[in-house]
Structure 1
């Protein structure tokens, strides 16, 4: 299930990506969106005229067409990288808590502007790096709170030579420009077990909460046109973090080899909505888009935005989910209507761990809503035909209206 609170924007990154995100929502439209058939009956009869959708649109958008601009295509391809980036929970199932960075907690698509990469480094380090040929990337980070953190980032460059040069310059910059706070934090080279091709740097720091010494290890590995950039940190000596990075690379290398590269010269022709499902999702609110908006993902990619990826992997598998989209909400495509209903029920079971799920969407059978314990948000889940969806809003009324609108969008002829 989607993390509550995704889509929060950090100003520096918002400026770097505003044009691409806005362009991603306002293209010339062509083609035709389609509604997939179902092989199983939906839950209960719904009288569409009885659904209160407020001011939300209930007619699908026209087909979204191609990217139109190279920078938009670079962002779309950055989003698609999520399908091939190893999640920290795959390395260690305990690493499931999203770690905020950039826009939205846990994961971030990195479009084709090197300014986006500055969030990962000190200014002095970033200024010293040779990032010529950078194309785009994707990053995901999780933690076992107060014990260890793992962030895995895949960066694409124009070719293997550019990736190799970038990996070397990144490692050298980390060594040459340690943390400037007095006294400077010492950094040292460290080997990554089983990966002599990796260039890694380690440095200690004192955790202010426990007063314990932690080691942070940054590894940079060129693999074809990619730099596999992995950071691990935990208490004690650096070797456990290096071992965590080694396992990440064992998984990430073969995974990224499966990615079907699109020539940057063809980025303008990348489809915005390859499945047609984005056109049937609630649009992103004006001014609230991030690099993670208007995204189409396979089940693996969906997990990078999930609050409980280990549990959700089973839920998606059981429901036969083959893709999902995120616009104003998350919509998941299951194998049939019965499976979509089962997915909603599984979501409710997960939600109940945080408190009672005792609200519904009026006149929408099989819908469920939960007010957050803090009273700051509401989550509603429901299904329509073979689709399950999740709405997050600040008020119950708004969540209910969005859920009603999403049902009507998915069932529109």
Structure 2
């Protein structure tokens, strides 16, 4: 597995999905698709063959597979608080992680990672759920939960102590301890150098749970409402705790026996490419887990339900397994609706039915999106340049067509 996950042009993808709110598509009969000569497609230097996985080839890969299981199981931020129904900013792009040096920790915890590594033992895997209450960052508050699985309950309790003490030691008087209503065991503090920010750490069985809340509106107003922040933390722990308690971890000795891609869906997305916008770790999830890694969970949920999506995979692009070929094609139709800041652009040569868009809005840069379906699979990719997105969607189509 490549240690990256797409975050390319997150603003584009968020907005592309945001405009796909229509519940139907044109029911007029479409012309039959032309035959595609796969050998004639321009795929540049991209690999246009599916990549199949069997058992893990390393313990680190096995730990990532366990993290995918965890992502399928955890509640979405919008299930914790209905306000938090939008995808997070790009800083939350990393969801799976197996190291305390990961951006999943560094983006939320103040302090020296070496100090954490020196004190934390028995870490198995982690998964981040993240969301915000508005697509305009300055008007939103963000809710992130970082669930970390350890080998033993004692390891989890020690990790909670380490996180709280290392962060408070680093922040000194800028960390103001807080009591979380209903959870006296939680170790929480405001981060006063940034108004509207609170971190809470609590052990739940073999899990250490970090709840990170950042209210951007409070930051804009230079004011912190500690009561509101601690109430949000309490509501989050209340929803997360039963999910963590009901998760059945794979015995550590059996992690290497897990199937990386039992239904051969992770084999299908385009491989990651040398692109600084791709961050995080590839993975495959069920419908619920797929909502964790998307860019508009509320609208995605509606579309997944309509299309019968039961699996979502990401590497260098997204692949969705729909109910059937008709549902997959309609899913791409809905996700490629033209919004205010988009215009349609032609698909690549040899693949005229690919649906491609160019972003022409106020954000910096020009970004392109293409989607296509093959059989019951729908796929989408993004890139900064039109030629790049054409090559990526061409390679993606060839992978789907060549899959077993």
Question: Shorter-chain TM-score category?
Answer: 0.7 to 0.9
Shift of 1:258: 4.1
Verify the 8 A CA contact 1:141 1:151 in the aligned structure 2.
yes
Give the alignment partner of residue 132 of structure 1, picking from 110, 114, 121: 121
Q: Closer, same or farther in 2 for the Cα pair 1:293/1:266, shift >3 Å?
A: same
Q: Closer, same or farther in 2 for the Cα pair 1:361/1:89, shift >3 Å?
A: farther
Could you tell which deviates more after superposition, 226-235 or 144-153?
144-153
Verify the 8 A CA contact 1:379 1:392 in the aligned structure 2.
yes
3-state SS of the aligned residue for 1:220?
strand
Structure 2 counterparts to residues 113-152 of structure 1, below 5 A: 113-116=99-102, 117-124=105-112, 127=115, 130-143=119-132, 144=134, 145-146=137-138, 147-152=140-145
Verify the 8 A CA contact 1:223 1:253 in the aligned structure 2.
yes
Name 1:265's counterpart in structure 2: 253
Q: Does 1:357 find its partner at 2:340?
A: no
3-state SS of the aligned residue for 1:276?
coil
3-state SS of the aligned residue for 2:333?
helix
For residues 365 and 197 of structure 2, the distance between their equivalents in structure 1, rounded to whole angstroms, comes to: 37
Give the alignment partner of residue 380 of structure 1, picking from 363, 366, 370: 370
Q: Unpaired runs of 5+ in structure 1?
A: 7-40, 207-213
3-state SS of the aligned residue for 1:285?
coil
Report the TM-score, using the length of structure 2 for normalisation. Answer: 0.79
Structure 2 counterparts to residues 184-199 of structure 1, below 5 A: 184-185=173-174, 187-199=175-187
Shift of 1:139: 1.9
Could you tell which deviates more after superposition, 42-51 or 369-378?
42-51
Could you tell which deviates more after superposition, 197-206 or 293-302?
197-206
Q: Does 1:223 find its partner at 2:204?
A: yes
For residues 315 and 162 of structure 2, the distance between their equivalents in structure 1, rounded to whole angstroms, comes to: 37
Name 2:90's counterpart in structure 1: 100
Shift of 1:397: 2.5
Report the TM-score, using the length of structure 1 for normalisation. Answer: 0.77
Verify the 8 A CA contact 1:44 1:366 in the aligned structure 2.
no
Give the alignment partner of residue 357 of structure 2, picking from 344, 364, 370: 370
For residues 78 and 43 of structure 1, the distance between their equivalents in structure 2, rounded to whole angstroms, comes to: 43
* Structure 1 residue ranges (4+ consecutive) displaced by more than 4 angstroms after TM superposition: 286-291
Shift of 1:306: 1.7
3-state SS of the aligned residue for 1:274?
coil
For residues 288 and 275 of structure 1, the distance between their equivalents in structure 2, rounded to whole angstroms, comes to: 30
Shift of 1:166: 1.7
Shift of 1:366: 4.1
For residues 320 and 84 of structure 1, the distance between their equivalents in structure 2, rounded to whole angstroms, comes to: 19
Could you tell which deviates more after superposition, 373-382 or 167-176?
167-176
Q: Closer, same or farther in 2 for the Cα pair 1:204/1:288, shift >3 Å?
A: closer
Give the alignment partner of residue 237 of structure 2, picking from 242, 245, 249: 249
3-state SS of the aligned residue for 1:257?
helix
Shift of 1:326: 1.0
Q: Unpaired runs of 5+ in structure 2?
A: 1-5, 11-28, 219-223
Shift of 1:408: 2.6
Q: Output the aligned Cα RMSD.
A: 2.9
For residues 286 and 375 of structure 1, the distance between their equivalents in structure 2, rounded to whole angstroms, comes to: 18
For residues 396 and 283 of structure 2, the distance between their equivalents in structure 1, rounded to whole angstroms, comes to: 17
Name 2:14's counterpart in structure 1: none
For residues 356 and 291 of structure 1, the distance between their equivalents in structure 2, rounded to whole angstroms, comes to: 27
For residues 269 and 31 of structure 2, the distance between their equivalents in structure 1, rounded to whole angstroms, comes to: 20
Give the alignment partner of residue 321 of structure 1, picking from 277, 292, 309: 309
Verify the 8 A CA contact 1:135 1:157 in the aligned structure 2.
yes
For residues 369 and 288 of structure 1, the distance between their equivalents in structure 2, rounded to whole angstroms, comes to: 22
Per-residue displacement from partner, 1:76-97 (whole Å, max 9, x unpaired)? 3224322233333333344324
Q: Closer, same or farther in 2 for the Cα pair 1:215/1:54, shift >3 Å?
A: closer
Q: Closer, same or farther in 2 for the Cα pair 1:357/1:243, shift >3 Å?
A: farther
Name 1:407's counterpart in structure 2: 397
Q: Closer, same or farther in 2 for the Cα pair 1:281/1:150, shift >3 Å?
A: closer
Name 1:171's counterpart in structure 2: 164
For residues 290 and 393 of structure 1, the distance between their equivalents in structure 2, rounded to whole angstroms, comes to: 10
